[in-house]
A and B are shown apart, each in its own frame.
Chain A
Amino acid sequence: DQQVKQNSPSLSVQEGRISILNCDYTNSMFDYFLWYKKYPAEGPTFLISISSIKDKNEDGRFTVFLNKSAKHLSLHIVPSQPGDSAVYFCAASAFGGQNFVFGPGTRLSVLP
């Protein structure tokens, strides 16, 4: 039973356009969410986070939106760059815990 879902295994976007990566969760106790980016043969690297007390967090080209009622969050990358091509993981934890549950990932390809 997947508690964190990323229903799009892959996504292709043209350079300069917006990339939108989606994540859904089932556990209503989740209160902290992270996005990680992973290049081949490397470990995941942290990108951006959001707490359940907020509905938006922005860091440069990256913005994460949280819709608690829909149990849905999304990562927007604007503008997309070829270097953004990677696998993106959504992760969630509950009650301030450190045992984050990861989604299966979405492979983003940004085409020049």
Chain B
Amino acid sequence: DAGVIQSPRHEVTEMGQEVTLRCKPISGHNSLFWYRQTMMRGLELLIYFNNNVPIDDSGMPEDRFSAKMPNASFSTLKIQPSEPRDSAVYFCASSQTRGIEAFFGQGTRLTVV
């Protein structure tokens, strides 16, 4: 298994542009998580899905952020419009069941200039 696959690995964009981060979870996993890591706030859960349905999006910072999971093998996190303070490493993770560890992707390093 290739693990959780995120793309792109690095993204540099200008303020005001739309950014879309992509994630392919591990096949058979029914939970998918989006995290953001910054120096100031550490690793924060933004949103998670169970069986493609968003369960908790209370960590999404504001309406500029949106996440979708159209099927069991793909999810996107979109920021529109992007701002410099969105610069961070964004991780996607997937897991099989509650309480079992989540497997993280390698992350997407986003820089908004």
Residue from A45, A97, A105 within 8 A of B42 (CB atoms): A105
> Is A102 touching B43 in the complex (CB atoms < 8 A)?
yes
CB pair A103–B104 under 8 Å, yes or no, is no
Report the nearest B residue to A35, measured CB to CB. Answer: B101
Do A104 and B33 have beta carbons less than 8 Å apart? Answer: no
Could you tell me the distance in whole angstroms from the C-beta of B86 to the nearest C-beta in chain A?
A: 19
A42–B3 Cα distance when bound, in Å, is 12
Assess whether B74 is interfacial by the CB under 8 Å rule: no
B18 interfacial contact with A, CB 8 Å? no
Which residues of B (84-102) have their CB < 8 Å from a CB of A?
Answer: 91, 93, 95, 98-99, 101-102
Does B44 sit at the interface, judged by CB under 8 A?
yes
Cα of A46 to Cα of B4 in the assembled complex, Å: 14
User: Does B65 lie at the interface of the complex (its beta carbon under 8 Å from any beta carbon of A)?
Assistant: no
**A42, B102: Cβ atoms under 8 Å?**
no
B107 / chain A contacts, CB cutoff of 8 Å: 41-43
B33 in contact with A98 (CB, 8 Å): yes
**How distant is the Cα of A104 from the Cα of B93 in the complex, in angstroms?**
18
A contact residues around B73 at 8 Å (CB): none
The reply on A111 being an interface residue by CB < 8 A is no
Rounded to whole angstroms, the CA-CA distance of A103 and B104 in the bound complex is: 16
The answer to the question of A25 belonging to the interface, with a C-beta cut-off of 8 Å to chain B, is: no
B residues in contact with A102, CB < 8 Å: 35, 42-45
Question: Shortest CB–CB separation between residue A109 and chain B, in angstroms?
Answer: 19
Cβ of B72 to closest chain A Cβ, rounded Å:
16
Query: Are B101 and A98 touching (Cβ within 8 A)?
Result: no
Q: Which 8 A-B pairs have the closest CB atoms?
A: A43-B104, A46-B101, A102-B43, A104-B42, A44-B104, A99-B56, A43-B105, A43-B106
Identify 6 new A-B residue pairs, CB closer than 8 A, beyond the known A98-B33, A103-B42: A32-B99, A36-B104, A43-B107, A99-B58, A104-B42, A105-B42
